Structure 1
């Protein structure tokens, strides 16, 4: 078993659960298990210590309350299927991550955040109710008013409180499936952080950041600001469908690229071309299909093969506002000096998270991919020290190698989470390789 980053890999038993009624008996009779949706967490979060229970077949949409825009689904329902079904009806999920190929159970367990976290918070803030299979096999209803401690432990709890059998959450009404996008080009990190803060009133805001530029250009970025388009916004495109359909991916990476393909020279060249092309568009406002705006990487299936057979690590941290410029400058300079940083580097603003182990905290989050190599681990250990000293933390859904010390220093509500696990018996039944590694 492996995550999306293809590192680390673990041997273990896998059981495919295809019937909801089979969940209670399986859970109560086994120990050391974790649920797995579509396997899009990057590291070892969805690999059981002893048993991995795949739940992607539990994928029925059960009801939709149009008055409250409230959707109830099984935990294995894919975000892609929700988008395919509800955008034509004029609804959009309240929060989406960077890929649509994730399950609702996985979105809740990771308390995913999107380009609108600074405005709307994480996905967990829009969840009304969860039906959770706990260690005894009992199905517990959890909400902000019912079994609330278990509810907030499950948001961002990485599946370690139980299996999300069913969830109810609200959708956002939209009048079109297009995004009005404005691009802002910045020349350095200081300008980037200021520009991101100035976009706090925008619904969506995210920066692509060049993590290989140095000197006066360190941290130069392209910021993509977006709003859901109105019918009048798309009047200039008379042939465009107001609610355009799901875009099927046209390309797939059929083989692993050789390890030398993504090197400092090739990535630097790509970053320079991408930045210059984006900067030329900075004065324009454009209309972008929802799929291209939110899920650009989904256009290339199996893009994780870009990094070769050894796989890659994604490092995503959040650092508080007051430390952001100094800490991120030091981090980016180290990445640039090493030549390891990739073209997939993203910077966003966050506010606080809802769950006990939710990743978001007020500040800036930087995420980037690095190919697995012996010297990368030492580099990331050094970066982690900067994050901890700044009062920040790492995202568990992306993590494959942080130390227990780094984790414990970043999550002040860890003991409260462990107490919920203890009182519900989850500590004796639910265990992932991530949980084992970090002592959760």
Structure 2
């Protein structure tokens, strides 16, 4: 048995790990189901954990074909592999989350989203087809228009084992990003700025949710792919290299994430952002994946780990709902250093997380106070007709998950298709999926 966790290091579960290097290995594992497939372990909670059998897919990491931006690859290939292989040739992922260290299968299972959802949608928008091994060990190719294709994108690995997929990449002329940074002083101003820049390809904001004089202050980062005319003379159009990472060997004291220290950290971050406001040319890694520069940054929260709360609220209730969430966090005395706000475009797929509106993601130390606070945030989210991101969930109760009518439909589909007893995770059992 191997002790596993998600990226948040909470909870930890003893799992029997089976490694897949080819289709035959997957078939043998499915014969011994139940199981859940696991990619690079970047789901934050327990979505890729099964005590009986966790199928490690990182051994299936071959790129099979490429033709003018159309890539066929196995599920264990990482987005970082794709970027380092094809960005020097002028191709970049159509949609990417905030880490490049997620597997292709994981990106599909979570239907990950990026800073461009308001224009390009979630990851499913660049997926042409998926080879999926079902409960009968038969491989079926599902594609756009197929019901199972929609359930699989965002289905958290609970519709079968993703073996390989065909995706489309984006043509880019350089590896650089033209970034505009704005320092704003309220949630209302931040939302107004998002709405005024809906034509900008990429947008994301850090926002201060802590109690204090800078509560609601934000740093909005807008971006677009640079073209050669944007580059100074003699700057290479494509610069793709493995950056050295700053190691995080141990956690920081718990008091850093609350009270006076948290207010000081957030205030300093906002003031630095205000000083740097304006337009700048930054490399692709800095803009899309700032946290990847810290090796094992999840250790910052210590041995107990951390939990992330991420909700989405529809556009018509987002402003009021986000304000209430932020006031509740401030009143609790808890806080989040990493609080990220993004604008979503229309919903896509049967069980995908995004909805037209806004999403707020916040990290908290895994302790009783934070878990109690999240129960309050659950209630606020439901009162404003919102939903929750399963790829970040580690503790949501079944009743909260089932408040989303799509969860019941997903569970019913799984039962009818014979998936319920074959593909399970700690999360799916906890949420009654």
Category of TM-score, reference length = shorter chain: over 0.9
Quote the offset at 1:326 in angstroms.
Answer: 1.5
Which SS does the other structure have where 1:348 is aligned? strand
| Change beyond 3 A, Cα 1:108–1:70 | same
Deviation at 1:344, TM superposition (A): 0.7
Aligned to 2:13, the other structure's residue is in SS state coil
Residues of 2 paired with 1:82 and 1:395: CA distance?
Answer: 25
Q: 1:413-424, aligned counterparts within 5 Å?
A: 413-424=406-417
Q: Number of residues paired by the alignment? A: 430
Structure 2 counterparts to residues 113-262 of structure 1, below 5 A: 113-145=113-145, 148-214=146-212, 217-234=214-231, 236=232, 238-262=233-257
Give the 5 Å matches for 1:306-345. 306-345=300-339
Question: Quick one: distance in 2 between partners of 1:184 and 1:30?
Answer: 54
Superposition CA RMSD, Å? 1.4
Is the CA contact 1:312–1:369 (under 8 Å) kept in the aligned structure 2? yes
Other-structure match for 2:58: 56
**Who is 1:370 aligned against?**
364
- Partner SS, residue 426 of structure 1: coil
> Does the 8 Å contact 1:318/1:363 carry over to 2?
yes
Q: CA deviation at 1:418?
A: 2.7
Q: Tell which deviates more after alignment, 75-84 or 185-194.
A: 185-194
Contact 1:189 1:218 in 2 (8 A): no
Structure 2 unpaired stretches of 5+: none
Whether 1:281 and 2:276 are equivalent positions in the alignment is yes
Distance (whole Å) between structure 1 residues aligned to residue 265 and residue 373 of structure 2: 23
CA separation in 2, counterparts of 1:260 and 1:212? 13
Q: Distance in 2 between matches of 1:60 and 1:406?
A: 39
Q: What TM-score do you get using the length of structure 1 for normalisation? A: 0.95
Aligned ranges 1:344-355 → 2 under 5 Å? 344-355=338-349
Specify the SS of the correspondent of 1:387.
Answer: helix
Choose 252-261 or 292-301, whichever is displaced more.
252-261
Confirm or deny: 8 A CA contact 1:311 1:371 kept in the other structure.
yes
Aligned match of 2:18 in 15, 18, 33? 15
Counterpart-to-counterpart distance in 2, 1:128 and 1:384:
35
C-alpha distance after superposition, 1:361-399 (max 9, x if no partner)? 111100010001111111110110010011001100000
Shift of 1:48: 1.4
- Going from structure 1 to structure 2, the CA distance change for 1:61 and 1:201 (only over 3 Å counts) comes to same
What residue in structure 1 maps to residue 105 of structure 2? Answer: 105
Q: How does 1:375-394 map to 2 (within 5 A)?
A: 375-394=369-388
Structure 1: gaps of 5 or more residues: none
Secondary structure at the residue paired with 2:6?
coil
CA distance in 2, matches of 1:30, 1:316: 34
Secondary structure at 2:12's aligned position in 1? coil
Q: Note the 1:425-436 alignment, pairs <5 A.
A: 425-436=418-429
User: Within 5 A, what are the aligned runs for 1:66-81?
Assistant: 66=68, 69-81=69-81
1:49 Cα shift? 4.7
Q: Distance in 2 between matches of 1:406 and 1:180?
A: 41
Q: Give the TM-score taking structure 2 as reference length.
A: 0.96
Instruction: Provide the rounded CA distance (Å) in 2 between the counterparts of 1:249 and 1:309.
Output: 25
Are residues 1:357 and 2:357 paired?
no
Aligned to 2:49: 47
Aligned with 2:410: secondary structure? helix
Worse-matched range after superposition: 225-234 or 267-276 = 267-276
2: CA distance between counterparts of 1:265 and 1:41?
A: 31
Q: Distance in 1 between matches of 2:258 and 2:352?
A: 34
> Is the Cα contact below 8 Å between 1:310 and 1:371 reproduced in 2?
yes
Contact 1:49 1:431 survives alignment (8 Å): no
**SS of equivalent residue, structure 1 residue 427:** coil
* Distance of 2:370 and 2:257 partners within structure 1: 14
How far 1:24 sits from its partner (Å)?
A: 1.6
Equivalent-residue separation in structure 1 for 2:245 and 2:38 (angstroms): 27
Cα deviation code 1:409-440 (max 9, x no counterpart): 13x32343234323332111000000000000
Partner residue in 2 for 1:268: 263
Give the 3-state SS of the residue equivalent to 1:10 in structure 2: strand
